[in-house]
Structures are given as structure tokens and as C-alpha cells.
Amino acid sequence: MRKFKFFKNESREFPWLVPYSWEQRKLGEIAEIIGGGTPSTSIPAYWDGDIDWYAPAEMEGQRYAVKSVRTITEAGLKNSSARMLPAGKTILFTSRAGIGKMALLQRTAATNQGFQSIVLRDGFSAYFIYSMGSILKNKAEGIASGSTFLEISGKMLGNIDIMMPNRPEQEKIGTFFRALDDLITLHQRKYDKLSKIKKSMLEKLFPKNGSNVPEIRFAGFTDAWEQRRLGDVCDSFEYGLNAAAKEFDGINKYIRITDIDDSTHVFLKTDITSPDTDMSHADRYKLQDRDIVFARTGASVGKTYLYDNKDGIVYFAGFLIRAKVKKEHCSEFVFQATLSDGYSRYIAVTSQRSGQPGVNASEYQEWEFFVPKISAEQQKIGAFFRSLDRLITLHQRELEKLKKIKQSCLEKMFV
């Protein structure tokens, strides 16, 4: 076994880690690699028993394997190459059709032949090995073979070299990443829950199925809504600036279709650019309060963004159309209406072209939707969704931040 000095005594980056050498080990030295199998599907007695039996598709997005979709019987286990895997020390590892998906087994189970599961010997931390999943995945993919699809055998997986610290350090690293993963899971669940709430409220706060009133109303509002064209509630529809993007100049931001988040519809700040043009002639393309931009072509046709003053000075690009919402209407309400099912159906039908899907300014103006007669009701609905969107964006950003922290720590805490 080769020894490598990983942490130097003078390092202060992770002071709670002990500065011992890490050893190079074969994965097969610290774990038994166990494959799986499938009982005959033509024999009912082999199925629907008490033994969990996993398939690779069940690993998607899972950290823990708690309950399988299908189960097998003792007879099914005995009459197949499937083997029982112990809970607490087994890491399920997919070996084909998406190599390297992993989950920590929480109760005794078996798998089909799409796995080469890692059953750790005594003295090794399961969460430490699970946390180095990206390393194992990359190495496994690099040596996988197959003419129909790539696959890695148990022997090949067992021969992969990994770097291992002593048990106390394994436990500390595993505990750190478990806590980080718990935080990520918490924010992911909150984000998912809020997204579902929003989807439900969009259905309930906007009329549907030909009705002229929504299912839910704010107190004090009873009047029927009016059907209006988007062109009736907006002053103008203008095409964007025909200019390439350049490195951000620190002041002037450039919004393109790809700069609008697909789920939250906020202006993404990950890759800010500026228009590559003479800015003295670009003032007409600067977004202002009450402006909504619409994607007019491509796979994202129909995607919308409501300008927010907090985004600073923003110019909109040529594949976007800017609509200016009239002062007597609530721009937030109109924007939220573009996230409704009725809007999606209109875009799906109207955008059909012989080539790229697209919707032009005239077609956007013709979209019809129901609008409250009383401006105050528009304001109430707009304010409700604005608050909900801020919560969703908050959890999304926290998620992104935590994932970046995790990625950085994975790069710095593993050899």
C-alpha cells in the first residue's frame, strides 16, 4: 500500500481534520463487490414477497434506499443470482445504463443484475465512501466496456484505486458531508413544496375551463372577470436589440433567452454579459418598470421575465419581445398569467412552424385571458405570487450555494 501525505500541519482550511497520511487501497480490499440477478418473471411464486429487490431506475436522486418498487420471495432469491445485501454497510452502485448511481442501503435487500454493490468490510465508513461517489463514478466510467452499452464488472470495480484515511478521519468527513447533504435535502424539499403550492395556486387563482371567475377569491371581490387580449392590457410590443454579447462592463446588463431561469423566471446572474454595441444608440432597448419580455423563438418560446429594478440596467436581446403593461393594470398579475396552463396551451398551438417554433409580436397580442375588472384584485393576486416567488427564489439560491460549497469541499477533502 502506497502512503501519501494529504494534509499539511500548517493547513487551517479544515482544522477539525487530523493531519495523517492517506493510503492507496483497492476498492476490493475494503469491500466485497456483489452483483445481482433477476428471478424468472414467468413464475409468480418468485415475486411479491418480503425481500426488497432494486432496479437501477430507482436510484435516480436517491440518497438512501429504504423501500424498493418490486419485491421477491425467498424462492425467487434462491433461484436467481441475486444475493442478500446487509443494511448499514452496503452502497448500491449501478453498473450499467447510467454507471455510478449510488444509494445507501437502509434495510437488507437484493438487486437485479444492473448493480455491482459495495459491501464494506468492518472498519470503514459507509458515508465516507458514498461521499466520494463522483470519484468512483468517473473512474468506473473510464474503464467500463461493452458493445451495446457500457458496463463495469465487479472485478473491474474492485480493482479501482482509492485513497483512504484512517477510520476516525473517515468518520469526521462522512459526518460533515451527511450534515451538508441533510441541509441540501431540507432546502430541496422546501423548494419542491413551494413550487407545488405555486402550481396549485396558479390553477385556483386564475379562471379555467371556460369560467369567468377563479376557484379561489380574495375577500371582498365577487365581480366576474373580463376576457381581454394581451394587446389590450399592454401599450406596445417591440423586438429587442440585435447585438452580440460581450464581457460584462460592470454597468450594462444584457438579457437573452438563456438568461431567464426556466423554473423561477428570474434573471440569472451566473454569466452576466453586456451588449456589444454603441450604448448611446441603445436606450430604447433598456427595460423599465412594468416591462415583460417574451421569448419569440426556439425551444424556450413563450418563456417570460418581468423586469425588476433590483436587476439594475438591463437591455433585452433580439430574440425577445418587450411588452409594456398599461398603468391601469398590474404588471405582476399579467406576468403571473403567462405562467398559467391557459397561456402554455396558447403557446403550444400558436408556436407551431415548419422549422423552429416561434410566436411573433402580433400573435402575442392576440392571446386572450381573463382579467379582474377591479385593479385592486389584480394587485392582491400579483402581491401574493410575488411573495411566493421570493420564497421560492430564496430556497433555490440557498440550494445552489450549498451545492457549490459541497462541490468545493469534495475537491479539497478527497485525493
The structural domains of the chain, with segments of one domain joined by +, span 23-164, 166-219+373-414, 225-371
Q: Which of 208-212, 318-322, 372-376 has the lowest mean pLDDT?
A: 208-212
Q: How far apart are CA 198 and CA 263, in angstroms?
A: 11
Q: How far apart are CA 252 and CA 272, in angstroms?
A: 9
| CA torsion, ordered 259, 261, 267, 273, to nearest 10 deg | -20
Domain 166-219+373-414 class, CATH top level: mainly alpha
Q: How far apart are CA 386 and CA 30, in angstroms?
A: 53
Q: What is the DSSP letter of 125?
A: -
Residue-level pLDDT at 21: 85
What's the topology of domain 225-371?
Adenine-n6-DNA-methyltransferase TaqI; Chain A, domain 2 (3.90.220)
Nearest C-alpha neighbor of 67 from the set 35, 105, 94: 105
Residues contacting 400, CB < 8 A, separation 6+: none
23-164 carries CATH number 3.40.50.1820: no
Residue-level pLDDT at 11: 46
Residues 217-226: tens digit of each pLDDT: 999 999 999 9
Residue-level pLDDT at 149: 86
Nearest C-alpha neighbor of 234 from the set 307, 329, 303, 318: 329
Residues contacting 412, CB < 8 A, separation 6+: 13, 14
Q: How far apart are CA 51 and CA 65, in angstroms?
A: 13
23-164 shares its CATH topology with 225-371: yes
Residue-level pLDDT at 59: 94
The model's pTM is 0.81
Residue-level pLDDT at 5: 41
Per-residue pLDDT band at 2 (split at 50, 70, 90)? very low
> What is the torsional sign of CA 307, 312, 315, 319?
negative
Residue-level pLDDT at 177: 97
